[in-house]
Chain A
Amino acid sequence: MLEKILLPALWETLYMSLSSTLLAVIFGFIPAIALILTDKNGLAPNIKVYRVLDVIINTLRSFPFIILMIILFPVTKIIVGKSIGTTAAIVPLTIGAAPFVARLIESALKEVDIGVIEAAKSYGASNFQIIFKVMIVEALPGIISAITLTLITIIGFSAMAGAVGGGGLGDVAIKYGYYRFKTDIMLYTVLILIVLVQCFQSLGDYLYKITKK
C-alpha cells in the first residue's frame, strides 16, 4: 500500500506544490515590485498603475480556488496540452498563488526601514539599485517567510486540485479514504501531510533565523 499508493502520491504532491510555488514566486515578484515602486510613498509613485494592479490582484485573490481551476481549464490546455493531470494542476495553482505571493512580498518590502532607502538615495543609488541592492537584501527574511507560507498554502490547495484529477495525496485521500471507506489510508495521507507541512515550516523558520541578523 505504502509503495504503490502513498509514495507516488507524495511525489506528485511535492512535484505540484514545489513547482507551483517556484512559478508563483517568480510571477508574484514582478507585480510586488511594481506595487512597491508605484505606491504613493514609493520610489516612482503612480496612482493609476498601482490601482490597476491592486484591482487585478484583489480580483484574482477573491476567486474560490476550485472555481478558478475550472475557469482556467482552456488556458491550462493551451499551456500544458491537457486540462487534467498533475502537471496540468500546476497552472491554476500558480495563477491562484501568484497574487497571494505578490501581496506577501509587497508587505515584506514595505517593512524595509524607510531610512535605509533614504540613505541609499543620499549616496546616489538608482531606483533599480535601491530595490535590488537594498530593499530585497533587507527584506530577505520576510520574503523567506512569505515563500514558506505560500508553499504550505499550496500544499493545501494541491489536495483540492487532486480531487479533480491532479493526483497527489489529496486525490488518494478522497479516492481511497472517502469513496472506499479505507480509514487507514485516509489517516496515513493526513499524517504524511502533517509531517510535510511541519518539515517545510521548520526549514522556513531555520532559513529565516539565519538570514535575520
Chain B
Amino acid sequence: MIEIKNLDKYFGNDKVLNNISLKIDKGEIFAMVGHSGAGKSTLLRCINGLESYEIGTLKVFDKEVKNLSTTELKSFRKDVGMIFQHFSLMQRKNVFDNIALPMQVWGFSKDEIKVKVDELLKLIDLSHKSTAYPSELSGGQKQRVAIARALTLDPQILLSDEATSALDPNTTTSILDLLKKINKELGITIIIVTHEMDVVKAVAQKAILLEHGNIIGQGEIEDLFLQPDKKMKKFLGEKEVIPEDGENIKLYFPKEIAQYSIITHMARTLNIDFNIVWGKLEKINNHVIGSLVINITASDKESVTQYLDSKNVTWEIL
C-alpha cells in the first residue's frame, strides 16, 4: 500500500532523512519510532505530501506522491486522514462543525454530513458533546474529535503524528484502543509516529526505529523488543544492573514460552541454585514477552546452557 525506496530529504543543506526504504501493507498498524529530531514526523508528512522529498520514491496506492498535481494531491488526501499532537481543532467551531468541515470542503450535502457525523460521534462516544466547543473538552475528547474528523472522508490510511504525546497514560490507552478498533472494524491502515515505546508496544505490529534520519531497526514488534540489538538497547536507554562475579545469562521469552515455568523447572531438573538478578515482563500487542537475567556459578554454566537449548530458549551471556 505504501512503498518507500531510498528516500532522502533535506531541509536546506541539512539531510534530515537518509536512504529510507520501507513497505507498509494494507490493514497494518505501523509505527515510526524515534527521539525528537529523528525525522519521524517529517517522514510521516512526506506520505501525504505535507512535506516534499528530494531523492528516492514514495508510492502510495502505487502513485508517486511528489508527482501529483495540486488537484490530484487534494483528492489523494481524501484517502489519507491525519491526526496531530495538539489536536488542531478549530476553536470557534463546535464538535459537530469541526467534524463536518472536511465534508463541507468537499461539497457534501447537509443531509449526508449529518448522517456521517452522527455515526462518527457514536464511534468516538461523544454524541452528547456535539454542540460543545473544543475549549470545553478534555485532551482525550479533543483527540477523539480529531480522529472523527480524520475519518469523515472514509480514508484508507490514517496518519497519527504524536497523537498521544500530549495525553496522560489512561487517556493514551483509551485513544490507542480507539485506533485499534478503527483498524480492526474499518480496516484502515494506521501509521503512528511516536517517541513513546509503550504506545508502540500496545498497538503496532511492525515498526521502524529512526535515529538522525536513518533507519536503525525495523521489523515485527516482538522481534524488536524481545531481542534488542546494541543500537536498539541504546535507543531504549536500558541497562541491566548485574553482579560482577559468576556468570550472568540473559534469557529471552518469546510469546510461546513466556507462560511456561522454565525457571523453576530448570532449578528442579538441574538441582542447582541461582539468583534472579534482573527481569522484565512486557505486554506487546496482546502477548506477554519477557527477559530475565540469572546469575549462576561458573561451573553450572554448561548444564544451564544445555538445558536452555533443549527448551529452545534464546539466551546470551552478558
Give A contacts to B, CB under 8 Å: 113, 115-116, 118-126, 129, 133-134, 137-138, 140-141, 211-213
Contact = CB atoms under 8 A, between A and B. Distances in A.
Nearest to B94: A213
Contacts of A126: 74, 105
A124 B75 CA distance: 6
B66 interface: no
Contacts of B149: 119, 123
Contacts of B76: 124
Given A133-B101, A213-B133, A122 B89 contact: no
A10 B3 CA distance: 71
B82 interface: yes
Contacts of B159: 122
Given A129-B105, A138-B91, A213-B133, A124 B84 contact: no
Given A129-B105, A133-B101, A122 B90 contact: no
A118 B161 CA distance: 12
Contacts of B81: 122-123
A120 B84 CA distance: 12
The residue among B82, B88, B106 with the most chain A CB atoms within 10 A of its own CB is B88
B35 interface: no
B135 A123 contact: no
Interface string B197-225: 00000000000000000000000000000
B92 interface: yes
Contact of B89 (A116, A125, A133, A140): A116
The residue among A123, A140, A141 with the most chain B CB atoms within 10 A of its own CB is A123
- Interface of A: prevailing SS: helix
Contacts of A125: 74, 102, 105
Contacts of A119: 82, 84, 88-89, 146, 149
Contacts of B255: none
A211 B89 CA distance: 16
Interface residues of B, number: 34
B90 A137 contact: yes
Contacts, number: 78
B31 interface: no
9 contacts: A113-B88, A121-B77, A122-B81, A123-B149, A123-B150, A133-B101, A140-B92, A213-B92, A213-B135
B117 interface: no
A138 B88 contact: no
A212 B135 CA distance: 10
A141 B104 CA distance: 23
A124 B155 CA distance: 12
A123 B99 CA distance: 11
A123 B91 CA distance: 18
A115 B90 contact: no
A141 to B, nearest CB: 8
Contacts of B75: 124
Given A123-B105, A124-B102, A133-B105, A118 B84 contact: yes
Given A115-B84, A119-B84, A122-B77, A133 B102 contact: no
A124 B88 contact: no
Contacts of A129: 105
B50 A118 contact: yes
Given A118-B50, A213-B133, A137 B74 contact: no
A158 to B, nearest CB: 32
Contacts of A138: 90-92
Contacts of B78: 123-124
Contacts of B291: none
The 3 closest A-B pairs by CB, nearest first: A115-B88, A123-B102, A124-B77
Contacts of A212: 92
